[in-house]
Structure 1
Amino acid sequence: MNIIAWIILGILAGALAKAVYPGYQGGGILSTMILGIVGAFIGGTLFTFLRTGTLQLTSATFSLPGFLVAIIGAMIAIFLWELFQRRSRA
């Protein structure tokens, strides 16, 4: 997947994950894009692990199922980020 498709998938997946995930998540377009790209890797890796049983670092593809996997992965990334932030404040 070329870099433009990565950026588009990252922005869309990150924005939708922020809209669906409960609570307020700060950050601008850059953090949304990074969140979406990280989410695509998390979701793609988990999806590959559940489907094949092997742990490979893969990303979601630029398709509807890949987009849904990227959104779920971005929601996991939001959860992990909030967990890390809450732990570092305490």
Structure 2
Amino acid sequence: MIGTIIVMLIVGLIAGFIARALVPGRDAMGIGATLVLGLVGSFIGGFLGYLLFNHDGNDGAFQPSGIIGSVIGAIIALLVWRAVNGRGTGRARL
């Protein structure tokens, strides 16, 4: 149990860092926010994997995914976060 939590935290942190590196623009996030971004991305990636491939139907729709799914989900979460906050577009507001 504790090993699973540690692995999820490590994968979440790695996925958050990779997502922040792949999406251009500056984000004022610390390590904790990057970790949360990766964890949220992992569940988004698991949900998308469930919708696209219908794998692990017994686990339910919201499940953690691997590193690739986590990075894709973290990129989606980061773009949604920027769209909601209105930052990262480089355009001036009128």
Fold shared, TM-score > 0.5 on shorter chain: yes
Which consecutive residues of structure 1, in runs of 5 or more, have no partner in the other structure?
A: 61-65
Q: Which has the higher helix share?
A: 1
Give the TM-score of the pair, scaled to structure 1.
Answer: 0.84
Give the TM-score of the pair, scaled to structure 2.
Answer: 0.80
User: Which segments of structure 1 move beyond 2 Å, counting only runs of 4 or more?
Assistant: none
State the structure with more CA Rg: 2
Deviation track 1:15-62 (CA, whole Å, cap 9, x = no partner) reads: 0000011111111000000000000000111011100297711111xx
The alignment of Structure 1 onto Structure 2 pairs a total of residues equal to 84
Deviation at 1:2, TM superposition (A): 1.3
Deviation track 1:56-87 (CA, whole Å, cap 9, x = no partner) reads: 11111xxxxx1111000000000110011119
Sequence identity (%): 38
RMSD of aligned residue pairs (Cα, Å):
2.3
Task: Identify the residue that residue 81 of structure 1 maps to in structure 2.
Answer: 81
Deviation at 1:7, TM superposition (A): 0.7
